[in-house]
Amino acid sequence: MTVELERVAKSFGPVKVLHELDLAARNGEFLVLLGASGSGKTTALRMIAGLESVSSGRILIAGRDVTNVLPKNRDVAMVFQSYALYPHKTVFENIGYPLKVRGLRNNELTARVKEVADQVQLGSFLERYPRQLSGGQRQRVALARAMVRRPVAFLMDEPLSNLDAKLRGHMRAELKHMQHRLGTTTIYVTHDQIEAMTLAHRIALLEEGKLQQLDTPAQIYNDPANLFVAQFIGSPPMNMVRGELMEGIFKTRGKDIETAIKQSRKKAVLGVRPEDCSISGTENGRFRASIYATELIGDHVLVTVKAGEDMLTIKASKNFNAATEAVIGVDFPQDRLFLFDEETGVRLK
């Protein structure tokens, strides 16, 4: 089922936390709302759930206008960051609660709770209390409680952020698998770009209550709409160099870098991903920098180099070896360069 936001805005008194957001999750889609804290992503999710009132605009779920419908009548399920499990109820009662309050009878309730519990491998924990479970198991109970009702959409508010790093990776895969199997529209809020990239069909990147870009992870990575998106996505982040763009020639500190964008800007920013740079000799005309630090990650080495004020990170092969302070040259592939207007942040194409 679809979830649509039409020019939805939210303000607390004079503070605008969400500026007329237009967003639509298609049927069966896994849509991730990505942004830093304070970007309005959680507010947007809570508005879809009905926990927060809408200042203006409409929300449609499965084609029905639910802007003024009570949360309980919106037929969505939500997984909270804290899981929000009821500590005084067993796993069975926790999972069965959404059915119980809807007046489902005992036999059917039991059957459905058992079915869902088996799907998340909790079948043998039904009589336990949440405090007797591990973090991952609690998370699965929360998931099962959302699934048991078969809602039209799942809403998830940073559900993995309370888990340790190893478990998070595992649960991420499980979550993706489950969503794929159920085919239920899912709106997922996170500040973690890896989660967003790995889980999403499409990512909506929010900043200061405004939608920056809505696209597939690959598109967002390869074709960022503006400076903010380019900086936000990618780990380590995209390298940024300030300078002047003249008819496709980017000038910084006396070096000219040829680009494919035939435009001119007094103040421009050149962006290049670490994996697109390469280290080369220091022949004339090359961009020169001195090595600041090298970090062996495993399958590659991250080389941080310093050119004047700018710091660049370059992904080099795992065999790279050079002394700190050594001067090297950096190669930028012409077709992998991004250029932005420094003042507006707009991508130059």
Partner 1 sequence: MSEAGQKRDRRTARQRLFEAPSIDRMAPVSGFLVYAALVLWTLVVLFPIYWILITSFKTAIDVNRGPVYLPWIDFTPSLNAWNDLLIIDFGDTVKAYTNSLIISTTSTLLCITIGTMAAYALARFNYRPKFGNIFAFAIILIAAVATIALFKVDWRVTSATAAGLFFLFIRAAGRRMKGTVGNGDILFWMISQRILPPVVVVVPIYLMFQSVSLLDTQLALTLTYCVANLPIVVWLMHDFFATIPLDMEESAQIDGATRFAIFWDIVLPLTKNGLVATALLILIFSWNEYLLALFLSTSKAQTMPILVAAMNAGDRGILWWTMCVVIIVMIVPVVLLTLFLQRFIAKGLLLGAVKG
Partner 2 sequence: MTSDGFHTAAKPGLIAPAEAIATTGRARLSDWFDRNSSQIFIWPAILIILVFSIFPTIASAILAVSRIKLMGGSYNIRFVWLQNFKKQFFGSEQFHFLGTFTGISAVGWLVILIAALATAWWLFTYLRRNATVIGLAGRLVTAFTGMGIVALYSATLLSGNQFGTLGTTLFYVIAGCSVQFLIGLGLALLCTQPIRGRSFFRVVFFVPLMITPIGVGYAFRMIADTTKGPLSPLWIWMGLGNFAWAADPWAARIFIAVGESWQWIPFVFVVLLAALENVPRDYIEAAHLDGASRWQIFRDITWPQIAPVAASVMLIRMIEAFKIVDLPNIMTAGGPGISTESMTLHAFFSWRALDLGQSAAVAYLLLFVTVVLCSSFFNLVILKRMRVA
Coil vs helix vs strand at 71:
helix
Round to whole Å and give the CA distance between 237 and 342. 17
Binding to partner 2 by CB under 8 A, coded x per residue (else -) over 43-82, reads -------------------x-x----xx-xx-x-------
Backbone angles phi, psi at 298, to 5 degrees: 145, -85
Q: Could you say whether residue 72 binds partner 1 (CB under 8 A)?
A: yes
Binding of residue 218 to partner 2 (CB under 8 A): yes
Task: CB nearer to partner 2: give 1 or 167.
Answer: 1
DSSP codes, 123-161: GGGTTS-GGGS-HHHHHHHHHHHHHTT--SEEEEESTTT
Q: Which is nearer to partner 1, 184 or 212 (CB)?
A: 184
In a 13 Å sphere around the CA of 145, the CA atoms on its Cβ side amount to 29
Place of tokens 């049927």: 27
Cβ count near 267 (within 10 Å): 12
Which residues lie closer than 8 Å to 162 by C-beta, 6 or more apart?
81, 82, 83, 135, 139
**Is residue 317 part of the contact set for partner 2 (CB under 8 A)?**
no
Helix axes 135-147, 91-101, angle to 10 degrees: 20
What part of residues 145-184 is at the interface with partner 1 (CB under 8 A)? 145, 149, 155
Binding partner of residue 77 among partner 2, partner 1, none, CB under 5 to 8 Å per kind? partner 1
Scanning 5-13, 74-82, 171-179, 240-248 for contacts with partner 1 by CB under 8 A, the matching segment is 74-82
Look at strands 76-79 and 153-157 and give their pairing: parallel
Site string for partner 2, 161-180 (x = CB under 8 A): -------------------x
Binds partner 1 by CB under 8 A, chosen from 23, 33, 59, 78: 78
Note the residues at the interface with partner 1 (CB under 8 A).
49-51, 71-72, 74, 76-78, 80-82, 84-88, 97-98, 101-102, 145, 149, 155
Note the residues at the interface with partner 2 (CB under 8 A).
1, 26-30, 62, 64, 69-70, 72-73, 75, 102, 149-150, 152, 180-184, 197-198, 200-202, 216-218
